Amino acid sequence: MIYFDNSATTQPDPEVLRTFTAASQAFFANPSSLHGLGIEADRLLGRAAQQVAELAGMPDGTVVFTSGGTEANNQALFGFARANAGHGRRILISSVEHPSVLNTAEQLEAEGFEVLTVGTDGNGRLDLSDLERKLSQKTIVVSIMHVNNETGAIQPLEEAGRLIRRKAPRAVFHSDTVQSYGKLAIPGGPDGPDAISVSAHKFHGLKGSGALILKRNAQIRPYLFGGGQQGGLRSGTVPVAHAAALAKAMRLAEEARGELQFGEWRDELIRFFGGWDKVRVLGGPESAPHILSVAIRGIRGEVAVNALQEKEIYVSTSSACSSRSRSESHVLRAMRIDEDFRHGVIRLSFGRQNSREEILRFKEVFAEFMDTIERV
Ligand SMILES: Cc1ncc(COP(=O)(O)O)c(C=O)c1O
């Protein structure tokens, strides 16, 4: 089989599984326990946190281990908004954020915060002048994703960061890097984000594990309350083995990043899709190398997904989390994709286990599929 749905989730790397099993067996104790086993587990947890912070480019930062990207984004928005409410009420997000940011912002709006949405252009790239217009001294949180999960559009984080620092110096700049971590370098330095969210299962780690990593000076409040674990930031017994496995997955992803050939495959496929008037590539060569979404005129995306599946090729419609709901994608709407293309979107997303041979096989099968639909 050929699995091109790595933006939905990836197959875990066997090395990550080994780390998880070994840590679960040898360091099963509760890291909050006072006895020697607890202290050893806590030491491993501390090492994992340090590695995660370093691999995220924030060696002095704080790591909050979470259950994944959704929780990291919830923690970021609730935590930064509530901690900084004394300076203002305005929160800015882009119109193409993942639902875990969009719906959290909606909750904050219901709590009395002012949420403004920053638009994008036809390629799904952030409109920087709209951002500039909406930033103010009263802005306390700005959340802009790095790579869009539906189209692969890369957001100009450094340019956004420069505007944020100038026009809203007190704002915390958060970025959902769930789709970019391990594929692109995360912008660091003074214009880079103050906090990023990562999710292990998007880079060959385990589902149910992720982190919010924040710079030391970013003010945050917890949003899960209980026994006060993780410095009071996220209560609940800390899953030490998950933390160790996340650090391993991040290290493997970073080590492999330079070797990935996704960009060549993406460019080859863009040329290939250019052979049909009915097929439109969303995003294009300036998008992330591992995500390629195309819209096919006059069909529903599910038809292509099913036809490819018959040949054991697995892709998704625009995004796995929304593909089972019949509602239209907010990202495609924000990009103003024509009605007759909008329903026929399929997304290919590559992972470390894919190969060039699989791209060639995909081309063969897709060409057969296009022949069939052109005949009817
Ligand atoms: C951009 C983005 N953010 C957040 C998430 C949520 O991550 P998780 O599945 O770990 O909750 C996803 C998952 O699809 C995503 O693509």
State the CATH number of the domain containing residue 278: 3.90.1150.10
Alpha carbon distance 19, 327 (integer Å): 40
Looking at the structure, tell me whether residues 277 and 356 fall in a common domain.
yes
Looking at the structure, tell me whether residues 248 and 301 fall in a common domain.
no
Domain that holds residue 130: 14-256
Q: Could you report the per-residue pLDDT of 11-27, keeping only the tens digit for each?
A: 999 999 999 999 999 99
State the CATH number of the domain containing residue 181: 3.40.640.10
Q: How many domains does the chain have?
A: 2
Bridge partners, residue 154, by sequence: 147
Query: Is residue 270 within 8 Å of 284, Cβ to Cβ?
Result: yes
Q: How far is the CA of 210 from the centre of ligand 1 (A)?
A: 10
Domain final position from 206, 230, 256 = 256
Q: Which are the contacts of 279, defined by CB distance < 8 A and separation ≥ 6?
A: 273, 294, 295, 296, 297, 370
AA identity, residue 330: H
Per-residue tokens: 187: 């912008």
Q: Could you report the per-residue pLDDT of 283-313, keeping only the tens digit for each?
A: 767 899 999 999 999 999 999 999 999 999 9
Alpha carbon distance 114, 90 (integer Å): 5
Looking at the structure, tell me whether residues 126 and 273 fall in a common domain.
no
Bridge partners, residue 142, by sequence: 92, 173
Verify whether ligand 1 is closer than 6 Å to residue 149 (CB atom): yes
Verify whether ligand 1 is closer than 6 Å to residue 147 (CB atom): no
Known catalytic residue: 321? yes
Candidate list 26, 128, 184, 321, residue with the active-site label: 321
Sequential DSSP letters for 112-181: T-EEEEE-B-TTS-B-HHHHHHH--TTEEEEE--SB-TTT-PBP-HHHHHHHHHHH-TT-EEEEE-TTTB
pLDDT top residue among 285 and 225: 225
Determine what percent of the chain is predicted with pLDDT higher than 90. Answer: 88
CA separation, residue 130 to residues 95, 125, 192, 272, 334 (Å) = 11, 12, 19, 35, 14
Is the pLDDT assigned to residue 143 strictly greater than 60?
yes
Looking at the structure, tell me whether residues 213 and 313 fall in a common domain.
no
Per-residue tokens: 40: 């050893």
Mutate to test the pocket of ligand 1, among 6, 149, 206, 330 (most ligand atoms within 8 A of CB): 149
Looking at the structure, tell me whether residues 59 and 188 fall in a common domain.
yes
Alpha carbon distance 256, 261 (integer Å): 10
Mutate to test the pocket of ligand 1, among 179, 203, 291 (most ligand atoms within 8 A of CB): 179
Per-residue tokens: 32: 């909050």
- What is residue 339's predicted lDDT score, i.e. its pLDDT? 80
Q: What is the DSSP letter of 120?
A: B
Alpha carbon distance 218, 143 (integer Å): 14
Atom of ligand 1 nearest to the CA of 148: 1
Verify whether ligand 1 is closer than 6 Å to residue 245 (CB atom): no
Looking at the structure, tell me whether residues 116 and 54 fall in a common domain.
yes
